[in-house]
Structure 1
Amino acid sequence: MRRHHQERDPGHKQVGGSVKRIVECVPNFSEGRRREVVDALAAALTLQPGAVLLDREMDPAHNRCVLTVAGEPEAVARGVIEAVGKAVELIDLREHRGEHPRMGAADVIPFVPISGITMLECVELSVRVAQQIAELYSIPVFLYEQSARIPARQDLAYVRKGEFEGIREEIRTNPERKPDFGPCEVHPSAGATAVGARFPLIAYNVYLNTPDVKVARAIAKAVRHSSGGLRYVKALGFEIKERNQAQVSMNLTNFEGTPVFRAFDLVCREAARYGVSVGSSEIVGLVPHNALTACAEYYLRLENFSSRQVLENRLSEGLSQDGLSSSEEFVAKVASPDPVPGGGSVAALAGGLGAALGEMVAGLTEGKKKFESVEGRVTKLHADLTRAREELCRLVEEDAASYKAVIDATKLPKETGAQKLAREEAIEQATRHATETPLRTARVASGVLFSLEEMARIGNPNALSDAAAGAQLAYAALKAAQYNVLINLAGFKDRAFAEACRRECDELAQRAAERLRHIDQLMMGA
């Protein structure tokens, strides 16, 4: 981030090179049996130009539908508000029956940042939508996940406890049930709604070859994090009568932290304890490509697999080039007078290039007889460097988006005392995120440098200069990221946070400098 450009308006330039501002929203409505109602909800969601329906799922047993819409943030937000109005018109929770917990006709509305938009911006968008839903339809709205103002409400299960009927009784008298927006009384037919911002989630169900719901509930308890199971997994057990099967229904809130295959494996192992086998599984809604790639890599035990080996990915890369190469385009944008992409994005790109050079050295080492003794270790380093490169490429875009959030915060009105306070708070929060992003770059670049030092020692000596060049890039990335952190620290009210960032950057830089000296000695003695 370039602080001295803070007041400058970047205009309509797309942040992070060719990145468009795209948000995804995955509203869950309490209707899964009447197709004409789901059609009406989908039509309302996409009424605004710039919003596209990506997926629709209807589940008669749960009596619930999950619609996925994506596009320009304001278009998606307006479509969601229209769809909630349609749900109020067409869904009556007093007559609703289904397996899935629910508290509202428009039950849950999560916004997910996809590209060119930060989590902070998604939170702000969700708050505006929540407020408008409450004002337009007299529905009590609770903020959850990243948008929650009360820590306990980050957990949707806590917000939805008691469901429509229980909340209807408690909301008038229990202070813990007071909504963030709207009346302290549920809508007679539409109930209450939860709105928030979250990271990508995978809705994943596993069907058991038994109708015994007690088994499904026991497995769900063993799997979910709140009961001591897998991190980032929420799970419930249901009976699906029309299939004569029990179901373990899961939400995977961080598929990188707990991959799909790990959740599936644990369900299978727990089912075996009860003498039950798994019949099948299903994904509800959309799933990130990398989540399925990880499953293929795990179950097929693929060696040195890269997502660039997928034909469609490679075709997309090739067909996306239009005259100017992507590298030339990025450099030209950095050279432009606009403040994004800036030093933070360039730092992340340098680190990604350093990791890529390490991957190349690993590829020139693996599978060769003379390096059999280190094959296993090189393969592990290769995988670590691939993950680091992918993360650093994401940080190129995220750094630009986080900087834009700071610019937007500085444009907030400041005529009244309340407006000034709100503006100061928004700038503080946006700057905090714009500081955390390069700090993450520094951490990842440090890991790249450590991997490259080992690769320089045990890898193919014919590629030693490539490992050394990658190390220099990783070190440059770390230092540049450190500078982007430091430039923001002076203005923070939270001095403890500022000093913690400074200390961590100093420690990362000191350790990295020592590693770089080792690599330099190897290179000079070659």
Structure 2
Amino acid sequence: MEETAVFAHELAKLVGEELQIPVYLYEAAQPNKERNNLSVIRAGEYEGFFKKIKEPQWKPDFGPAEFDAKRGGTVIGARDFLVAYNVNLNTTSTRRANAIAFDVREAGRVKRENGKVVNDENGKPVSIPGSLKCVKAIGWFIEEYGIAQISINLTNLNVTPIHIAFDEVCKKANERGIRVTGSELVGLVPLKAMLDAGKYFLLKQQRSIGVSEKELIKIAVKSLGLDELTPFNPEERIIEYMLANKADSKLVNMTLSAFADETASESPAPGGGSIAAYIGSLGVALATMVANLSSHKKGWDERWEEFSTWAEKGEQYKNELVKLVDADTKAFNQIMNAFGLPKGTDEEKAIRKQAIQDATKYAIEIPFKVMQTAYASMEVIKAMAEIGNPNSVSDAGVGALCARSSVMGAFMNVRINAKDYDDKNYVAEIIAKGKEIENKTIALETEILKVVNEKIGV
């Protein structure tokens, strides 16, 4: 946030000086806490600003202290992501919706006694705070849907996330004899907010949270009722999905048969590095499956959290290895692109040589990362072989075989790329580290398979 605030200052300075527009800083970009709230800055609205801007305490942070009637002024700030969120009610009463909104919003409601507003010693109305911090809310009626809603602004998801706001509104609505039927997000939402919501509702059910990103989002959508009024398409509503470069996940988004066909084609990529990463992801996926099966095993109810923790850890390793599938092919393509650079002059040759070396180092680092991740994932595989559902011990065994193959296959790619890298000290260091990981992997695989074979018994 500190870095963002610096950028806000730089932009505000440019706007104020070059465009000659009054600029007020707000939130984290505003050092004066008496004027960092946007609603305070806006107080008096357009009509009142001609006078307000002349007051010493309201001198703009940048730009002229003159209010241009045609262009107005502006605010530039740095703040946490704001989520606009509406909760649907089974009522048409705006008054009752407002009552619930006042129950939960941070500002709460004005205190009244015998129908009269209670003032403090300074003559200002006394407020009764609502139950949620960093929440602004109001009730309204939506003709389009024929229902009342609580319209909410969540100004800091780290303080009050979506799922907490939803549950609190459910609680307050229930106290007033009203039912929450669903909710809707206005605009885009951060991925983390959806994943946190999915985990929250699974934990309430005492179920494992070590499930895929897609499943967590599905749970969040259904639990929050985000698809009650209109379909909720994660690809169009989650910020990270909207910003994602589809080319960065071309391979992993293929069907299994298409991926196999692409691998078998005359194209040199995907090659062994991508396959090594994918084998590793399948290995730890099997262990994650065992953890999830174990967390739901009849008679093991008291151990669901233990296995949920293992499953969540397995999901993290799996996701990292899946990303490395495309990353390895991208690394290979960078080498090919570097070799394709012009080499007509000495300067071009020098640029081309450096580009080849940079691409080669990257092509060493990616499979080495596969080695590290696949080896680390074996802690989950080993645990599931030892303490997981005994009916699934063979799955843990296959997972160990996959992890071993992933490490050894990735090391081959490290070595074949390292032979063309000029920094021989770096090469010696990375090869030594790779051999150590490979040896540890083979030893750990032997240990896991011994457990597996003893449990199978035949």
**TM-score between both structures, scaled by the size of structure 1:** 0.48
Alpha-carbon displacement from aligned partner over 1:57-90 (angstroms, at most 9, x marks no partner): xx9x9988xxxxxxxxxxxxxxxxxxxxxxx9x9
2:292 is equivalent to residue 363 of structure 1:
yes
Amino acid at match of 2:79: S
The 8 Å contact of residues 365 and 459 in structure 1, kept in 2 or not, is answered as yes
Provide structure 2 residue ranges, at least 5 long, that are not aligned to the other structure.
1-6, 44-74, 82-105, 107-131, 136-153, 158-185, 219-231, 237-252
434 and 287 in structure 1: CA distance in 2 versus 1, 3 angstrom threshold: farther
The 8 Å contact of residues 441 and 478 in structure 1, kept in 2 or not, is answered as yes
Amino acid at match of 1:304: S
- For 1:293, the equivalent position in structure 2 comes to 194
Instruction: Name which of 334, 340, 349 aligns with 1:411.
Output: 340
- For 1:249, the equivalent position in structure 2 comes to 79
Instruction: Name which of 382, 386, 389 aligns with 2:315.
Output: 386
- Determine helix, strand or coil for the equivalent of 2:79: strand
The 8 Å contact of residues 385 and 393 in structure 2, kept in 1 or not, is answered as yes
* 239-248 or 379-388, larger mean C-alpha shift: 239-248
- For 1:98, the equivalent position in structure 2 comes to 23
Structure 1 residue 287: Cα displacement: 5.9
Amino acid at match of 2:155: S
- For 2:33, the equivalent position in structure 1 comes to 214
The 8 Å contact of residues 16 and 22 in structure 2, kept in 1 or not, is answered as no
Provide structure 1 residue ranges, at least 5 long, that are not aligned to the other structure.
1-29, 31-58, 65-87, 102-204, 217-236, 252-267, 269-275, 317-323
Inter-partner Cα distance in structure 2 for 1:500 and 1:348: 22
Amino acid at match of 2:194: T
The 8 Å contact of residues 80 and 156 in structure 2, kept in 1 or not, is answered as no
- Determine helix, strand or coil for the equivalent of 2:391: helix
Equivalent residue runs for 1:414-453 within 5 Å: 414-453=343-382
Structure 1 residue 298: Cα displacement: 5.5
2:432 is equivalent to residue 503 of structure 1:
yes
Inter-partner Cα distance in structure 2 for 1:325 and 1:490: 32
Structure 1 residue 247: Cα displacement: 7.4
Instruction: Name which of 371, 391, 398 aligns with 1:469.
Output: 398
The 8 Å contact of residues 290 and 392 in structure 2, kept in 1 or not, is answered as yes
- Determine helix, strand or coil for the equivalent of 2:337: helix
Amino acid at match of 2:33: K
Alpha-carbon displacement from aligned partner over 1:471-518 (angstroms, at most 9, x marks no partner): 101111111111111111122223333223212212211221121111
Amino acid at match of 2:282: L
Q: Which has the higher contact order (CA 8 A, sep 6+)?
A: 1
Alpha-carbon displacement from aligned partner over 1:82-136 (angstroms, at most 9, x marks no partner): xxxxxx9x997251443459xxxxxxxxxxxxxxxxxxxxxxxxxxxxxxxxxxx
Amino acid at match of 1:400: T
- For 1:139, the equivalent position in structure 2 comes to none
497 and 313 in structure 1: CA distance in 2 versus 1, 3 angstrom threshold: farther
Alpha-carbon displacement from aligned partner over 1:211-259 (angstroms, at most 9, x marks no partner): 994389xxxxxxxxxxxxxxxxxxxx776644569976259xxxxxxxx
- Determine helix, strand or coil for the equivalent of 2:155: strand
Equivalent residue runs for 1:332-371 within 5 Å: 332-371=261-300
Structure 1 residue 446: Cα displacement: 0.8
Instruction: Name which of 305, 312, 333 aligns with 1:376.
Output: 305
- For 2:121, the equivalent position in structure 1 comes to none
2:147 is equivalent to residue 281 of structure 1:
no
Amino acid at match of 1:214: K
Alpha-carbon displacement from aligned partner over 1:352-410 (angstroms, at most 9, x marks no partner): 11121112111221133443564333211100111111111111111111110110000
Amino acid at match of 2:330: A
Amino acid at match of 1:355: V
- For 2:91, the equivalent position in structure 1 comes to none
Note the aligned Cα RMSD (angstroms). 4.1
459 and 299 in structure 1: CA distance in 2 versus 1, 3 angstrom threshold: closer
The 8 Å contact of residues 213 and 247 in structure 1, kept in 2 or not, is answered as no
- For 1:308, the equivalent position in structure 2 comes to 214
The 8 Å contact of residues 456 and 464 in structure 1, kept in 2 or not, is answered as yes
Inter-partner Cα distance in structure 2 for 1:313 and 1:474: 34
- Determine helix, strand or coil for the equivalent of 1:525: helix
The 8 Å contact of residues 345 and 399 in structure 1, kept in 2 or not, is answered as yes
Amino acid at match of 1:249: R
Q: Percent identity?
A: 26
519 and 277 in structure 1: CA distance in 2 versus 1, 3 angstrom threshold: closer
Structure 1 residue 295: Cα displacement: 2.7
Q: How many correspondences in the alignment?
A: 288
Inter-partner Cα distance in structure 2 for 1:441 and 1:286: 33
Structure 1 residue 350: Cα displacement: 0.5
Inter-partner Cα distance in structure 2 for 1:313 and 1:464: 37
- For 1:143, the equivalent position in structure 2 comes to none
Inter-partner Cα distance in structure 2 for 1:471 and 1:314: 34
Structure 1 residue 282: Cα displacement: 6.6
91 and 407 in structure 1: CA distance in 2 versus 1, 3 angstrom threshold: farther
**TM-score between both structures, scaled by the size of structure 2:** 0.54
The 8 Å contact of residues 296 and 304 in structure 2, kept in 1 or not, is answered as yes
Inter-partner Cα distance in structure 2 for 1:447 and 1:400: 22
Amino acid at match of 1:360: M
The 8 Å contact of residues 360 and 418 in structure 2, kept in 1 or not, is answered as no
Equivalent residue runs for 1:139-178 within 5 Å: none
The 8 Å contact of residues 344 and 400 in structure 1, kept in 2 or not, is answered as yes
